[in-house]
A and B are shown apart, each in its own frame.
Chain A
């Protein structure tokens, strides 16, 4: 089965219109190609609001968390020392395990000199999948409240092939989590191109630079979309020129657009005139992804 072309839509912070754009891109792509959208914003998945898929399949995601056999444990403290996530504490009488801080990495089990640790599966979140009326294959991951790591959910999301999906999509669009966390890196890791959504303000520029750094590190072809174009200053533009980042779309600040989007309409419903620019954006991203590197 040929791999789809994978495009991630990311932004340094929330509220930049990232999900609006990723779902609009999926809608435009679905008009021409078999398309799938993965909502990777596991702490607050909301692409389903714009795309309205009927979700027909569900799966729990769990990670292996350590359990301690106190009869064998000498309370040496090695496990707590090796845990990068501070999910363990060793007191002279017992080992405390904080499941919600554990990332399931297995380091503690591996290092325990007494083989006093074993692993037990603990649920951290779930996956949902289905299709939309517009023919998009859809899946999202969501982290349970109080859990700290979205990365295992993203790994499971990326590997999952729900029965409801069509066999071989040409385009996969990933709505990345906001920010520059491990979950963002996990989302971007194996994509063919990244589209970064930003605003032309000093804050927008600051956040943009952080995500650009991740994309550079991963060697990703990267382009920029400017939302609320016309507010702020030219610093984002200058930065993009200097970094040779193509600006593939500009969405000016328009009140009717903002209001329509706030009512849960997709960008194309809110502003049909964006169909053409979005088709060009998609084409630009495909060319970027397929350009010889």
Chain B
């Protein structure tokens, strides 16, 4: 399974970034093979809609689950519409290995909440 964690620099050993839309980068992890790739977050350049752009980036990367500190309403809406699992990284856990382990053992809480800030036109 392919998962993504928001990270503070575009390196596979960077610590977790608590922000989603304005995270520095994403670490995409293949939990089966253990392979990791760091992708800079193109939404950092965005004047508006950073959350939407970041969410689109992860959808295009084929990620199935995301781990971050918090999700804005638009990002949450897009990721949920694409069927991704959204998990919350506890503030004190910064290390990717620790987060992956917690994810795999089912210890991470799901981000269920999002105030509805946009409209879906299905």
| Interface, chain A (partner B; CB < 8 A) | 67-68, 70, 77, 80, 85-101, 146, 148
Residues of B within 8 A of A93 (CB): 81-83
Q: Assuming A86-B49, A92-B82, is B56 touching A98 (CB within 8 A)? A: no
Q: Which B residues have a C-beta under 8 Å from some C-beta of A?
A: 43, 46-50, 52-53, 55-56, 59-60, 74, 77-78, 81-83, 117-122
Q: Which residue of B lies closest to A94 (CB)?
A: B122
- Pick from A88, A89, A100, A146: contact of B59, CB below 8 A: A89
In the A-B complex, the 6 residue pairs with the smallest Cβ-Cβ separation, listed nearest first, are A86-B49, A91-B82, A89-B78, A98-B118, A86-B53, A86-B52
Beta-carbon contact of A90 and B119 below 8 Å: no
Question: What residue of chain B has the Cβ atom nearest to residue A81's Cβ?
Answer: B56
CA distance A86 to B78 in the complex (A): 12
Q: Complex: how many Å from CA A291 to CA B53?
A: 47
Given A68-B121, A96-B77, A98-B74: A90 in contact with B56 (beta carbons within 8 A) = yes
CB distance from A214 to the nearest CB of B (A): 16
Beyond A89-B59, A91-B59, is A101–B81 a contact (Cβ under 8 Å)?
no
> A80 to B55, alpha carbons, bound, how many Å?
11
CB pair A96–B78 under 8 Å, yes or no, is yes
Residues of the A chain whose Cβ atoms lie less than 8 Å from the Cβ of B122:
70, 94
A24–B28 Cα gap in the complex (Å)?
58
Report chain B residues within 8 Å CB of A87.
49, 52
Contact A101/B52 with A89-B78, A91-B81, A92-B82 known, Cβ cut-off 8 Å: yes
How many angstroms between the C-alpha atoms of A219 and B43 in the bound complex? 33
Nearest CB in chain A: distance from B92 CB, A: 31
Chain A residue at smallest Cβ distance from B53: A86
Q: With contacts A80-B56, A85-B47, A95-B121 known, what are 7 further pairs, Cβ within 8 A?
A: A77-B60, A86-B56, A91-B78, A96-B81, A97-B118, A98-B119, A100-B118
